[in-house]
């Protein structure tokens, strides 16, 4: 079943086509959701919510656009909405970050970090960021949005976006160093 | 410089790692997704929009035909909208007007329902008599009601009073007048009542006057105080030796019969 057949089947609410679409983009989209969420369960909530939106809005998809990019956009928007909705998590995470945060970095060189860290640890370091920092970091660094776009998306000022990005990078480096320092970090 | 290069390299590594990150597939997730799909309400907007679009499309195809093209012209549509608006406004205004009319009418009605003052004018109130503001026609003597049977009173009636119009302003005043005239007997009055217009009043007046007459005739004190002419068969008449019943009967039989 090719992409066009999947789309046509999903437009007719065909369950097999829906499953085919889900299976095809599950891995990549769950990876996106994991970057924006604090853990696996939250990521799956976002994933399922995002797929519902995809199935419901499939009629709006333009054939000229890349399908994967369109799905990813919806998934990112769903993740941002999810984090905006759950502001309770933001308070808890901020409290946790303030409690455990340190303003100094260990003297571990970036080269050493690159050599010793794997993708799971990087993902874990990102998930440990506060939702506000996580959102700005993902949108700016991974999705490559501008600060202006981020400010519009998150309803914040551009200065706040820039400030959050710098803090997010600092905290991410600190999180990575802490993960590397731990003996059971890997 | 070296540190900055490493930093940039680290950022690039993080970016590449995260952007290409793929989570392992778990077969248990699809049933969960399926349950959500089953429970989630199907987007009705899609079908609604489709229907709407199809209807609009059909309308546009109809409008393309020359015969009904004028129906879909913007001027025609504007005219319809304006017409409906005007009708709506008219309805609102008319409803408000009717409300005002009723509110204005109520006090007028209350005013008209108030009892009017009894005036001595020669006009008859329309409410009480069901007639226009016209003078009562001159009644003929045959239809007149003689309210007294006293001979002396009848004799004392002046001829000009016989045909004199008595304008009754109100029913109550009329009844009061009748009572006064009958009881006091100061002035002998021939009450003439408009027969077609006041049958009820006349009847009631008759009843009242008759009752009053009975009272006066049976009341001995009133009989004693009654003014009598000199040649009448009164108690104090010197021609009669005694005012007995027999003597009065005899006297009456000698008198000429009353033409009335």
Distance CA B252, CA B240 (A): 12
- Give me the percent of chain A exceeding a pLDDT of 70: 86
Q: pLDDT tens digits, residue range B66-83?
A: 555 566 677 888 888 999
pLDDT average, residue stretch A108-123: 81
pLDDT of B73 reads 74
- Judged by CB atoms within 8 Å, which residues 38-77 of A form the interface with B? 43-44, 47-48, 51-52, 55-56, 59
- Pick the residue with more confidence: B77 or A126? A126
pLDDT of B214 reads 62
Chain B interface residues (partner A, CB cutoff 8 A): 3, 6-7, 9-11, 13-15, 17-19, 21-25, 29-30, 32-34, 36-37, 40, 42-43, 46
Residues 6+ apart with CB under 8 A from A139: A76, A80, A145, A149, A150, A153, A154
What is the distance between the terminal CA atoms of chain B, rounded to a whole angstrom?
A: 153
- State the number of CA atoms in the 13 A half-sphere of B94 facing the CB: 6
pLDDT of B174 reads 72
Q: Is the dihedral of CA B178, B180, B185, B188 positive or negative?
A: negative
Residues 6+ apart with CB under 8 A from B181: B147, B187, B189, B191
Distance CA A174, CA A168 (A): 10
Q: pLDDT tens digits, residue range A160-170?
A: 999 999 999 99
Q: pLDDT tens digits, residue range A34-92?
A: 999 999 999 999 999 999 999 999 988 988 889 999 999 999 999 999 998 876 555 44
Contacts of A68 in chain B (CB under 8 A): none
Q: Which residue ranges in chain B fall short of pLDDT 50?
A: 1-2, 44-46, 98-149, 154, 162, 165
Q: What are phi and psi of B191, to 5 degrees?
A: -85, 120
A130-166 residues labelled b (16+ CB within 10 A) or e (exposed): bbbbbbbbbbbbbeebebeebbebbebeeebbeebbe
- The answer, yes or no, to whether ipTM is higher than 0.85 is no
Contact A52 B37 (CB under 8 A): yes
Please return the burial class of A175, using the count of CB atoms within 10 Å of its CB with bins 0-12, 13-18 and 19+. Answer: buried
Q: pLDDT tens digits, residue range B170-191?
A: 666 777 767 776 655 555 555 5
- Pick the residue with more confidence: A104 or B118? A104
3-state helix, strand, coil in chain B (%, to 5): 65, 0, 35
pLDDT of A92 reads 47
CA distance B33 to chain A (A): 6
Contact assessment for residue A52 and residue A140, using Cβ atoms and an 8 Å cutoff: no
Distance CA B78, CA B66 (A): 20
Please return the burial class of B90, using the count of CB atoms within 10 Å of its CB with bins 0-12, 13-18 and 19+. Answer: exposed
Check whether A151 has a pLDDT greater than 60.
yes
Nearest Cα to Cα of residue B31 among A42, A48, A1? A48
Contacts of A18 in chain B (CB under 8 A): 37
pLDDT of B143 reads 42
> Is pTM, for the whole model, over 0.80?
no
pLDDT average, residue stretch A9-33: 93
CA triple B184-B190-B191, angle to 5 deg = 95
pLDDT of B234 reads 53
Q: Closest to B43 (Cβ–Cβ): which among A23, A56, A172?
A: A56
What is the distance between the terminal CA atoms of chain A, rounded to a whole angstrom?
A: 40
Contacts of A19 in chain B (CB under 8 A): 30, 34
- Helix, strand, or coil here: A105? coil
pLDDT of B102 reads 41
- State the number of CA atoms in the 13 A half-sphere of A55 facing the CB: 29
pLDDT average, residue stretch A29-35: 94
CB count in 10 Å sphere of residue A99: 7
Q: How far is CA B32 from CA A51, A123, B39, in A?
A: 12, 25, 11
């Amino acid at each position: 079943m090719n992409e066009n057949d999947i789309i046509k089947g999903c437009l007719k609410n065909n369950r097999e086509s829906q499953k085919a679409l889900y299976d095809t983009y599950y891995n990549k989209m769950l990876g996106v959701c994991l970057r924006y969420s604090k853990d696996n369960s939250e990521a799956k909530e976002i994933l399922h919510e995002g797929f519902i939106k995809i199935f419901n809005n499939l009629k709006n998809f333009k054939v000229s656009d890349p399908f994967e990019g369109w799905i990813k956009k919806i998934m990112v928007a769903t993740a941002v909405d999810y984090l905006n909705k759950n502001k309770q998590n933001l308070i808890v995470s901020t409290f946790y970050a303030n409690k455990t945060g340190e303003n100094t970095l260990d003297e571990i060189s970036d080269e050493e970090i690159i050599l010793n860290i794997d993708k799971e640890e990087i993902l874990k370091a990102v998930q440990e960021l506060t939702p506000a920092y996580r959102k700005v970091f993902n949108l700016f660094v991974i999705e490559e949005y501008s600060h202006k776009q981020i400010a519009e998306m998150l309803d914040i000022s551009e200065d706040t976006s820039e400030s959050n990005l710098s803090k997010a990078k600092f905290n991410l480096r600190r999180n990575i160093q802490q993960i590397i320092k731990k003996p059971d970090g890997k | 410089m070296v540190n900055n290069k490493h930093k940039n390299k680290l950022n690039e590594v993080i970016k590449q790692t995260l952007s290409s990150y793929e989570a392992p597939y778990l077969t248990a997730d699809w049933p969960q997704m399926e349950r959500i799909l089953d429970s989630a309400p199907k987007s009705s907007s899609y079908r609604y929009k489709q229907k709407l679009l199809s209807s609009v499309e059909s309308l546009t195809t109809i409008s393309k035909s020359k015969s009904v093209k004028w129906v879909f012209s913007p001027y025609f549509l504007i005219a319809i909208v304006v017409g409906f608006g005007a009708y709506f406004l008219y309805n609102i205004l008319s409803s408000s007007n009717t409300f005002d009319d009723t509110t204005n009418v109520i006090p007028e009605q209350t005013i008209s329902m108030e009892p009017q003052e009894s005036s001595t004018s020669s006009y008859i109130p329309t409410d009480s008599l069901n007639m226009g503001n016209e003078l009562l026609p001159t009644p003929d003597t045959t239809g007149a009601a003689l309210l007294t049977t006293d001979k002396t009173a009848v004799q004392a009636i002046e001829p000009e009073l016989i045909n004199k119009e008595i304008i009754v302003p109100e029913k109550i005043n009329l009844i009061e007048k009748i009572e006064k005239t009958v009881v006091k007997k100061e002035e002998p009055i021939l009450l003439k009542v408009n027969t077609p217009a006041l049958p009820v009043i006349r009847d009631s007046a008759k009843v009242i006057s008759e009752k009053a007459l009975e009272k006066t005739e049976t009341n001995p004190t009133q009989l004693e105080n009654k003014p009598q002419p000199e040649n009448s068969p009164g108690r104090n008449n010197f021609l009669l030796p005694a005012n007995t019943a027999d003597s009065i009967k005899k006297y009456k039989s000698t008198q000429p019969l009353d033409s009335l």
